[in-house]
Amino acid sequence: MKAPDNTAIPSWRRAGNRRRISLLFLVLLPTITSSYTMARLLPDRASIVLDALLVTVFGILFAWISVGFWAFMGGLFVLLTKRDRFRVSKSCDGRDFSIPDAEARTAILIPIYNEEVNRVFAGVRTVYRSLKQTGSLDRFDIFLLSDSTSPDVWVEEEEAWHDFRREEEGTEAHVFYRKRDNNIKRKSGNVADFCRRWGKNYRYMIVFDADSVMTGESMVRLVQIMEDRPDIGIIQTLPLAVNRETLIARVQQFANHVQGPLLAAGLHFWQLGDAQYCGHNAILRVEPFMKHCQLPRLPGKGTLSGDILSHDFVESALMCRAGYGIWLAYDIEGSYEETPPTLLDELKRDRRWCQGNLQHMRLIFTRGFFPAHRALFLNGILTYGSALLWLTFLIVNSAQAVSEALFEPIYMPILRKILPILPVWRPHWALSLLGSTTLLLFLPKLLSALPILVKDFRARMYGGPICLYLSVLLEVVLSMILTPIRMIFHSLFIISTLLGKSIGWGTQSRDDRGTTWKEAFAAHWWGTLLGAAWGGIVYWIIPSFFWWISPMIISLGLSIPISVVTGRASVGRFFRKLGLFLIPSEVRLPPILQDLEDNLERPPRYSPFGHSRKQGFLRAVVAPRTHSLHVAMLGRRTHEKASSKRREARKQLVEKALLLGPDALSAKEKNALLRDTERLRELHRGVWTLEDEEKAALWGLAMTRER
C-alpha cells in the first residue's frame, strides 16, 4: 500500500488548522488576562522571585485547564448539535457487517504479561464468539502475545489456549498463542515481534489490552472504515470502563461514561485526523506501521533513556509524520476496558505512565512531527507535570502567606519611590479570578450530563435525572478529595524519575480485592505526615490562611482511610444500591458483557489432583496431560541448543527439585526447567517414581490417611 498523496491537502486538515488557531486564541487570551490579574493581586512588597514564580506557574496551569475546558466545550457542541461532517464512521451508516475483500485480514493482538489467565481467556472467548456472530470471523485472527515471566502463568496460559482450541475451534484455527523468550521493549516490542513474524499476512491489526473487550460489530466497523479510507493509519475507539465494584473504580466508570464521550467528541472536534493512539482498543494499518513506526531506543543513560515506555503517543506521531491520519471514532460503541480497582493500583499505573510521558520531553522537537502531536506530548507531560506545578504553587502561596505574617511590611522603600507603597486589596479581582478558575474546572463536569438528558434521553440508564446529577456532584467532591493525594504522588513520581529512579514492569491488578490498612499505611504515611506538618505550621503562624488550604490538608491527613475506603467493593456496592454512580451496563448488561461474565464463571477442566489451576509449574511437572502439552509446545530445540555447562546446571536443578520439592526452586529455576524438554521429562518421571512418601507429598502425590 502506498502512502497517501501528501500534495493535496485534505479538507479536514484545513478545518483542523483553523480550529486549532482559534483554540490557541481561546486559551491564550484568558490566560494572559488572568495571569496579569494574578500579578496585580500579589502584594507589592513580597519577594519578586516568588511573585514571578507564582505568576508563571499560575499561567501554565490556567492555560492547561483552559485546554481541557475547550475540549469539553467542543464535545458539547458536537454531541448537542450532532453536526460533524468529519465523523469517520459516516461511511458505515446503514451498512451490514460484511467485509467484502477477502484480503482485508485483521489480527487482533492481545499482549499479556503475567495476567489473570482466566480473565484473559474469558475475554478471548467473548470476542471470538461475538466475531462469529457477525459472520466475518474468517477475516480475523486472534493472537495472544505472552511476555509472562511467571512459570505458573506461562503453563496456565498454554493450558487455557489448548482448552480453548479444543472446545471452540476444532481444526479451524483463528486463535494463536505466542510466548516470547525475552521481553525486549515490553509491549511495543511484543507488537513489533508480531509484525516481523506475521505482519505481512494482515492488512490491519486491532490492539487490545489484557482487559479489553470489543464487540464483533465494532471491530468489523473499524475494518470497514479503514477499507473506505486508505489515508487513515490508526482509528482509536473510546473504551468505556466497566465491571469494577470498588468505590473509586465505580466513580471513574461513571465519569468515563458521562464525561468520556464529551471529551472524546471534543478532542475529535479539535484534532480531527491528528488524534492520538492510546495503545489499545484501536485499529492500525499494518504496512505503514511496520515501515514507519518502529521505535528507536533513546540514547544515553538514566530514566529518560532506553526503551520508550509510552510508545503509543510516539507511534501516532510517527504514523502522522508518514502522512497517515489518526482519527478518534468517538461514536463507535462496543469498546470496553477496566479501570484500576484501587487508588494504589491507579498510582502504580501512573508511576509507569509518568516515566513514559516524561521521556517525551526528549522527543518533542523531533523533526517532521506535526505541531498537534508536539502539543499532545506536552499535554502528556503536563498530565503529571501539572501536579508538581500545583504543589509548587501551593507551597509558594503558603510561603508567601507565612512571610507576610512573619516580616514587617516596608511601606517606604527609600531607594525606589518617594511616596509610601500601601497594600491594596482588590477583592473583586480575587473573586473573579477564583470564579473563572472554578468555572474552567467544574463547568465541564456539570454540563457533561446535558447530552444524556436532552439529546439521548438516557438518564434512566444512570438511575434517573436526579441520581445522575447527584452522582455528578458527588464525583466532583470525590475528585476534590483525591486530587491532593494524587498531586503529591505525581510530584514524587516526577522528582524520582528526574533523579534517575527507574521502575520495573509490574502487572496491573484486575480484581476488586481492595487495599488493606497495612498497604495503605505503607503507601500514605509520608503524605499524612506532610499534610499534618504543612497544616500545623500554617495554622500556627497564620490561622486565617489555614482555612484556604484546609481541603488539601484534610485530604492529605486522611489519605490512609481514604485509600482504604475508596478501594472497598462493599462501599462501591452500597452506592450502587443507592442508585449512585450507575452506568448503563449496571442497569442493563450488554450481551457482550453478559457473555464475558458467563465465560468467567466456566468451571475448570476435570483434574484428579488437588492443584489449583494457578500452580502451573507444578502441573507441568506432575499432571501428565499438562506435562505433555507443555513439552509438545516447546519442541526439542531448547535442549539441543543448551551448552554442556547449562545442561549440567539443569541436571542439578532436577536433583534439587526431587530432593526439596517445587517450593525450593526460584521462578528463574522453574523457568529454566520449563524451557528444557529433556530435564522436564526427567523431572516428571522422577516425581512419579519417588519412593519417599514425604517427598512425593511435596508434589501433591500424597495419599490421605484416616486419622
Shortest Cβ 622–other proteins spacing (Å): 8
Sole binder of other proteins in the list 584, 688, 695, 697 (CB under 8 A): 688
Q: Under a CB-based contact definition with an 8 Å cutoff, are residues 27 and 63 in contact?
A: yes
Q: Does 294 bind other proteins (CB under 8 A)?
A: yes
Nearest Cα neighbor of 340 from 332, 352, 328, 348 is 348
Shortest Cβ 280–other proteins spacing (Å): 20
Q: Does 199 bind other proteins (CB under 8 A)?
A: yes
Looking at 377-385, 399-407, 593-601, 683-691, which segment touches other proteins (CB under 8 A)? Answer: 683-691
The helix/strand/coil state of 169 is: helix
Distance, in Å, from the CA atom of 338 to the CA atom of 253, rounded to the nearest integer, reads: 8
Q: Under a CB-based contact definition with an 8 Å cutoff, are residues 280 and 207 in contact?
A: yes
Distance, in Å, from the CA atom of 660 to the CA atom of 619, rounded to the nearest integer, reads: 17
Distance, in Å, from the CA atom of 622 to the CA atom of 616, rounded to the nearest integer, reads: 10
Looking at 85-93, 516-524, 567-575, 617-625, which segment touches other proteins (CB under 8 A)? Answer: 617-625
Shortest Cβ 43–other proteins spacing (Å): 41
Q: Does 635 bind other proteins (CB under 8 A)?
A: yes
Sole binder of other proteins in the list 25, 425, 457, 606 (CB under 8 A): 606
CA distances to 54, 553, 692 from 201, rounded to whole Å, are 56, 57, 53
Q: What is the DSSP string of 544-570?
A: HHHHHHHHHHHHHHTHHHHHHHHT-HH
Q: Under a CB-based contact definition with an 8 Å cutoff, are residues 206 and 109 in contact?
A: yes
Q: Does 370 bind other proteins (CB under 8 A)?
A: no
Q: Does 177 bind other proteins (CB under 8 A)?
A: yes
Q: Does 612 bind other proteins (CB under 8 A)?
A: no
- Taking CA 680 as the corner, what is the angle to CA 676 and CA 681, rounded to the nearest 5 degrees? 120
Sole binder of other proteins in the list 131, 195, 381, 461 (CB under 8 A): 195
Looking at 506-514, 570-578, 579-587, 684-692, which segment touches other proteins (CB under 8 A)? Answer: 684-692
Structure letter (DSSP) for residue 205 = E
Sole binder of other proteins in the list 5, 703, 706, 707 (CB under 8 A): 703
Looking at 237-245, 253-261, 585-593, 602-610, which segment touches other proteins (CB under 8 A)? Answer: 602-610
H-helix or E-strand containing 140?
strand 140-146
Written as nine digits, the cell of 201 is: 499476512
Q: Which positions from 16 through 45 interact with other proteins, judged by CB under 8 A?
A: none
Q: 192 vs 673, which CB is nearer to other proteins?
A: 192
H-helix or E-strand containing 213?
strand 213-214
Q: Does 603 bind other proteins (CB under 8 A)?
A: no
H-helix or E-strand containing 326?
strand 325-329
Distance, in Å, from the CA atom of 121 to the CA atom of 278, rounded to the nearest integer, reads: 23
Q: Does 641 bind other proteins (CB under 8 A)?
A: no
User: Hey, what amino acid is at 204?
Assistant: Y
Strand order of the β-sheet with 213-214 is 213-214, 335-337, 240-241
Shortest Cβ 642–other proteins spacing (Å): 17
Q: 178 vs 613, which CB is nearer to other proteins?
A: 178
Q: 6 vs 607, which CB is nearer to other proteins?
A: 607
Tell me how long the chain is. Answer: 707
Sole binder of other proteins in the list 625, 660, 666, 667 (CB under 8 A): 625
Q: 202 vs 581, which CB is nearer to other proteins?
A: 202
Q: Under a CB-based contact definition with an 8 Å cutoff, are residues 191 and 312 in contact?
A: no
Q: Does 363 bind other proteins (CB under 8 A)?
A: yes
Q: Under a CB-based contact definition with an 8 Å cutoff, are residues 117 and 157 in contact?
A: yes
Looking at 266-274, 483-491, 632-640, 661-669, which segment touches other proteins (CB under 8 A)? Answer: 632-640
Shortest Cβ 554–other proteins spacing (Å): 44
Q: 456 vs 655, which CB is nearer to other proteins?
A: 655
Q: Under a CB-based contact definition with an 8 Å cutoff, are residues 488 and 391 in contact?
A: yes
Q: Which positions from 105 through 144 interact with other proteins, judged by CB under 8 A?
A: 141, 143
Q: Does 685 bind other proteins (CB under 8 A)?
A: yes
Sole binder of other proteins in the list 83, 301, 367, 417 (CB under 8 A): 367
Written in H, E and C, the secondary structure of 513-527 is CCCCHHHHHHHHHHH
The helix/strand/coil state of 54 is: helix
User: Hey, what amino acid is at 54?
Assistant: L
Shortest Cβ 630–other proteins spacing (Å): 9
Residue 513 C-beta-side C-alpha neighbours within 13 Å:
9
Looking at 91-99, 341-349, 467-475, 695-703, which segment touches other proteins (CB under 8 A)? Answer: 695-703
Q: Does 701 bind other proteins (CB under 8 A)?
A: yes
Q: 173 vs 659, which CB is nearer to other proteins?
A: 173
Distance, in Å, from the CA atom of 503 to the CA atom of 197, rounded to the nearest integer, reads: 29
Sole binder of other proteins in the list 60, 80, 295, 447 (CB under 8 A): 295
# of chain residues touching other proteins (CB under 8 A) = 54
Shortest Cβ 471–other proteins spacing (Å): 45
Written as nine digits, the cell of 94 is: 446503514
Q: Under a CB-based contact definition with an 8 Å cutoff, are residues 72 and 447 in contact?
A: yes
- For 267, other C-beta atoms within 10 Å of its C-beta total 21
Looking at 36-44, 325-333, 601-609, 649-657, which segment touches other proteins (CB under 8 A)? Answer: 601-609
Sole binder of other proteins in the list 623, 653, 665, 674 (CB under 8 A): 623
What does the binding site for other proteins look like in residue numbers (CB under 8 A)?
141, 143, 158, 161-162, 173, 176-178, 192, 195-201, 290-292, 294-296, 318, 362-363, 365-368, 606-609, 623-625, 628-629, 631-636, 685, 688-691, 693, 696, 701, 703
